[in-house]
A and B are shown apart, each in its own frame.
Chain A
């Protein structure tokens, strides 16, 4: 078995008995002992009721949070054992986030916000603006680049967040309700964008309540009370 083949066969995400319990009285078992494998190019949707642990799972997958138990390997690297700096570096280069509450910098322009996604991951300075512009055009916000997020509609903010996540060219895109504020037309165009990105080899994990979004994915995972289950399509 040669090295390149081994690399190819390594799943992007590999959860082994991963759980996340928030301490407290009583402790909240947000994600219970979970096994999950996501391969390169997979398009996974995660559905579940509110408070079921979807965001918690996303934060674990995005190396923003550490599992209380179990092993998480991202592209074969046991991230639970990595020091903070390396986890951060990995996150910055490999993962794009679309957060449930966007987390846009309210005093900076749309373009600046998208550039922020490339500030720390060694994207060469002269490529940042072109990449940011391209991403904004892909989400249909080429005409809003000089605006501050405060002047944008909810759907436009959401698309800025998507543009920021995809502009650096991550290999894994994690989205928490990316279509929550979008109408059907914009949802469709965003889903088309996801299809394009996936065709480029991007791995997608999308949390959603939206049936249409869930149906475009090729794998559906349901989560109830922190327990994951693959739903056959």
Chain B
């Protein structure tokens, strides 16, 4: 027999996994304590990433440029108002002109529900006995600037302008809902609609509005036309679109501009403070938590390294024995590495689960929708295993470099 014929020792992967598993399960209490650090670290990382994503998503939903630039001015309710009686309005007819002068206002316009004494609306002058051709449709009076202020777009035709308003022309814009019911789809033939006996010419049909969806089902006519035809007393409310960031300021100024004598008669609705500052804070907090998670993970790694090292020292005799029955240095190293990696993996699995639970719990209390990148819970156990693997490097090197004879003499 020559040394060429010496058959190398072998430690199959399956045996390795089995030995590492039994090695861990033999001391369940110690294994639990060992993985605790990794559990905390991974849980902190996963929940931080998840909560950052969840909260970020929340801020995105809430932060809406449109809402942030919308200001509404109405009359403040004065005690009890009797139904049917029109409340006195403190909004002047020239509200649009007064507001547009303010620096920061992009567009403004008045909007008032017109009392037509519940007259039905139809698009043909004769009664059709076969089907319903008369409808109850809301009529609103609007100053020309309103369309821009609420971000209205047209399907067809045009908006009326200040000229129409001044001349009290009987023109109307139809909301798409109203147009469908009245069966008006084109305006090139100047179709007429009838509110009771009053004839109006349709000049445009709305496509959509960004605000005030009530107008989508309404008939919109110029202020002066409404005053002339339906005896509208005063504008009911004002819609203002501001530059981004100007809403707060315009909110304060608009009441004074509209009612210089007593601004308190008007109620101004402004969007909440922009979230930019909060967002900044949130991202700082995230960084802090990520750092804390990293530190916890580091502590976890040191914990695993420590316990593995202690376990190497405790098991010197076992190492000697394994070497005696044919385990090579590599096999010894592999076993301790596998044990520490397995502990890291378990820590990662538990930590990821806890992290996900934290995200769900926090989201539930805040009524947020929990959001988590799918790679986070998948990668977390791997990060844990990698942590364990790295933590096990030094102890397993120590184990592997023991001389079998020394190991057998020292260990019992």
Chain A residues with a Cβ under 8 A of chain B: 7, 10, 59, 62, 64-65, 75-78, 82, 84-86, 88-93, 97, 99, 101, 103, 105, 107-108, 112, 116-122, 125, 164, 168
Contact = CB atoms under 8 A, between A and B. Distances in A.
Contacts of A59: 405, 408
B243 interface: no
6 contacts: A59-B405, A78-B3, A82-B3, A85-B329, A103-B408, A119-B11
A86 B6 CA distance: 7
Nearest to A120: B326
B32 to A, nearest CB: 16
Contacts of A78: 3
Contact of A97 (B3, B12, B324): B324
Interface string B1-22: 1110011111110110001001
A107 B28 CA distance: 11
A85 B26 CA distance: 29
A65 B403 CA distance: 8
B317 interface: yes
A93 to B, nearest CB: 6
Contacts, number: 107
B322 interface: yes
A7 B320 CA distance: 31
Nearest to A89: B9
A117 B26 contact: no
A119 B405 contact: no
B8 A77 contact: no
Contact of B405 (A65, A93, A103, A164): A65
A161 to B, nearest CB: 10
Interface of B: 1-3, 6-12, 14-15, 19, 22, 26-27, 317-318, 320-329, 331, 404-405, 408, 411-412
Contact of B19 (A76, A88, A119): A119
B359 to A, nearest CB: 38
A112 B324 CA distance: 16
A82 B8 CA distance: 13
B8 A108 contact: no
A59 B323 CA distance: 12
A49 B15 CA distance: 41
Contacts of A93: 6-7, 326
Given A103-B318, A107-B26, A120 B405 contact: no
A122 B405 CA distance: 23
A121 B9 contact: yes
Contacts of B15: 119, 125
A90 B10 contact: no
Could you say which of B318, B324, B327, B331 has the most chain A C-beta atoms within 10 Å of its C-beta? Answer: B324
A86 B11 contact: no
Contact of B326 (A76, A77, A89): A89
A62 B326 CA distance: 11
Contact of A85 (B324, B328, B411): B328
Given A103-B320, A107-B26, A120 B6 contact: no
Given A59-B405, A76-B1, A107-B26, A84 B322 contact: no
A84 to B, nearest CB: 7
A85 B321 contact: no
Contacts of B3: 77-78, 82, 86
